[in-house]
Amino acid sequence: MGNVTPSIGGSWREGSGRIWQSTQNGNSFQWIQQGTNRMATGTLVSTKVSPTSVSDWAIHITFDGNVHWRLTSSPDGNTLYGMGDNFYRASSSANFSQPSVYNVNGLNHGMVASSVMNQQNVNTTYTENSGKSWTITSCPHAGYFTMRNQQDGRSAEFYVIKDISSNKHTMYIQFQGTQHPLRAETYDMNNIPLSNGDVFRCTMQSMQPTTVNTGYGVSIGNSGISVSFTTPSTIIPPTYNPPMNPNYPPQQPFSQPQPFTPPQPFGRPQPFGQPQPFSQPQPYGQPQVYMQTTPVTSSSLANTIITACQGKSFDSDKMKILVTYSTSQISPMGNSDLIRIISLFNFESDKVKAVQQLKKTNNIATMDCSSTCLLVRSFAHDNNKDTIIRDLCPFIWDRRQNCETLVSCLSFASSQNRLRDFILKN
């Protein structure tokens, strides 16, 4: 009978004979190659609450920070079959913490693993940078769920571990039709930055019905004993399916209802000007509740950074503030907030670094070409404009449709040609 839980600790020999020293810490592990100090990191994700064999665990590894493989363990756990090489156990190590079937690391004493890994809800919807939507179709277990693309029907499997001490989620995503998985790290499951530069943003949260169980109460008074009962009831929160068009205008603020005008007899002209167009009366219905996960107002992170930079004269001090807050918070900024942020800095090189820092920490929101151009025109030199457009390219959802709008921000034809090729290929 094979092992139920995979053991990655110890050392492994690749096909060429080189040895990788492995250190396992629960659901994560690290490899270092002897002689070269090459590094690899990986995760172990249980796809079932009660795994019966190592095949119920998904093992992924990343070499050199950018090569992602899925590993398959032999039943005895002594061989790991990779996508380009196999690894054979050279030695074992018992000095490691066992992985959790709830896919969490860093549990403190007294914590219950099943209560700290947030399981995703079916029908929750994410939108990628291109505007296509992905909906969660199944959640067999905490840390493992599947999505389906609403436009082309492709599926994707997500394998997630959560570090409780830092609230960091590390995941591998296997898209249908692709050989290699992608990797993502995030502190907010509403914003998932993929290793290919794309970002999945939650646009509609699905909440599970809440059931109130039967109960009773007993009270004793002068009139005797009275017993009260509560019957079972289920509360189903309303949900909202957002429109598929990513260029849909934002929800308008609530306005007071207009006074009702009774219908005029046929043929009688309307008072006060031209006749009003006929509108079909709408049936009365229950009020809808709209749930929007992305803010329509300014980013709270942008406001925090701007407030903290007040009174600071040197760009270096302002950059330290931006790095500190952007590393500890996630609040994606649109073009207006980005313009406010870069206006804090005196030198264009520091403005570029500010945008790159916000991109690195997943604090840039999806935008269109027109709003991007407003930001780009804040820069004077073509090379800086080109750098900013390339950095923001994954976040511009209509970059291919309106490529010439972006290209027109540059002055020289040679620069425009290079940028055009880059946009259409990315």
What is the per-residue pLDDT across 297-336, written as a single tens digit (0 to 9) for each?
478 899 999 999 998 889 999 999 999 999 988 889 988 8
Cβ neighbours around 79 below 10 Å, total: 15
Q: Are strands 155-163 and 144-149 parallel, antiparallel or unpaired?
A: antiparallel
In this prediction, residue 148 carries a pLDDT of: 96
Read off the pLDDT band of 118 (50, 70, 90): low
Q: What is the pLDDT of residues 160-216, one digit of tens each?
A: 999 888 888 999 999 998 889 999 999 888 899 998 888 999 987 765 554 444 444
Residue, of 280 and 371, whose pLDDT is higher: 371
Ramachandran bin of 300, using left for φ above 0, alpha for ψ from -120 to 50, beta for the remaining angles: alpha
In this prediction, residue 113 carries a pLDDT of: 55
C-alpha to C-alpha distance for 337 and 352, rounded to whole angstroms: 15
Region 3-8: what's the mean pLDDT?
82
Q: Structure pTM?
A: 0.52
Helix ranges (DSSP H) in 361-412: 369-376, 382-392, 403-407
pLDDT > 90? residue 86? yes
Mean pLDDT of the chain: 80
pLDDT > 70? residue 283? no
Task: Report CA-CA distances (Å) from 168 to 42, 79, 117.
Answer: 14, 30, 11
pLDDT > 70? residue 277? no
Query: Could you say which DSSP state residue 15 is in?
Result: T
In this prediction, residue 170 carries a pLDDT of: 95
β-partners of residue 22 are 10, 31
In this prediction, residue 108 carries a pLDDT of: 59
Q: What is the pLDDT of residues 216-274, one digit of tens each?
A: 454 455 445 555 544 454 444 444 444 444 444 444 444 454 554 554 444 444 444 44
Closest CA to 130 of 329, 396, 333: 396
C-alpha to C-alpha distance for 342 and 33, rounded to whole angstroms: 42
Closest CA to 388 of 337, 338, 319, 345: 338
Task: Sketch the domain layout of the chain as residue ranges.
Answer: 10-92, 116-219+234-241, 300-425
Residue, of 394 and 279, whose pLDDT is higher: 394
Read off the pLDDT band of 114 (50, 70, 90): low
Residue, of 249 and 143, whose pLDDT is higher: 143
First and final C-alpha spacing in the chain: 48
pLDDT > 80? residue 288? no
In this prediction, residue 371 carries a pLDDT of: 87
In this prediction, residue 208 carries a pLDDT of: 52
Region 61-75: what's the mean pLDDT?
92
pLDDT > 70? residue 292? no
Region 138-142: what's the mean pLDDT?
88
The amino acid present at 183, given as its one-letter code, is R
